[in-house]
Amino acid sequence: MSIGSFSFDVTASGQFPYIIAAILVAFGLYALLFKRNLIKMVIGITLIETGVNLFLVMVGYRSGGAAPIYTYANPGQGMVLPTPQALTLTSIVIGLATTALLLSFAIFVHRHYGTLDVRKIKELRG
């Protein structure tokens, strides 16, 4: 089955999954551009991050492949590419780190300014 020219067949061809990731990234950009709350902007950043990680792990999919772990693999079955999974693990941990730092910065900004509204946090301008 297909919408427009994009086929739904997840096991085989088509770019539909990539488009999902791109749309996730676009949602994150929307939150960063139009939301006025610091926490919502952090959520937007995490959305972009999720989209990128999703894209990264989807790039490594090989149709009909199993997880690249020989302990559970059944003989003769192909395996998906292991590198993108490693990269995704790395970028997930990096995302955790950045989110933690951003949120603690948000705590301190709120402690100093008494608000989380971006439009009121503009001491540094000009």
Partner 1 sequence: MGGISTGFGVWNPIAWTLLFIGILIIGLFVRSRGNKSYKRGTDQTQPFLSGNREPENPEALHVRGANLYWGMVHGLSGYYKRVRESHTGILNDYVAWFIGALGLVFVILFWIG
Partner 2 sequence: MNKVLRVVAFLFVSAFLILAATSMRDFGVPNDATMDQYFIDNTQAEVGANNVVTAVVFDYRGFDTLGEATVLFTAVIAVLTLFRKRKEDEMFEGEVR
Partner 3 sequence: MNDRGMSVIVRTVTRFVYGLIIVFGFYVIMHGHLTPGGGFQGGAIVASAFALLLVSFGAAGIKGKLNKKLLQSLEEIGALAFLGLAFAGLGTAFFYNLLAHGGGFFGAAVPAGPNPGILNAGGLVPLMNWAVGLKVMTGIASIVIVMLIGARKEETE
Which structure tokens are listed for 2? 């297909």
Q: Which stretch binds partner 3 (CB under 8 A): 5-13, 14-22, 57-65, 99-107?
A: 99-107
Q: Contact at 8 Å (CB) between 74 and 66?
A: yes
Binding flag, residue 93, partner 3 (CB under 8 A): yes
Q: Give the DSSP H or E segment for 2.
A: strand 2-3
Helix axes 82-113, 38-59, angle to 10 degrees: 180
User: Nearer Cβ to partner 1, position 58 or 118?
Assistant: 118
Most distant CA pair in the chain: distance in Å? 66
Show contacts with partner 2 in window 14-73 (CB under 8 A): 14-19, 21-23, 25-26, 29-30, 33-34, 55, 58-64, 68-71
Residues that bind partner 1 (CB under 8 A): 29, 32-36, 41, 118-119, 121-126
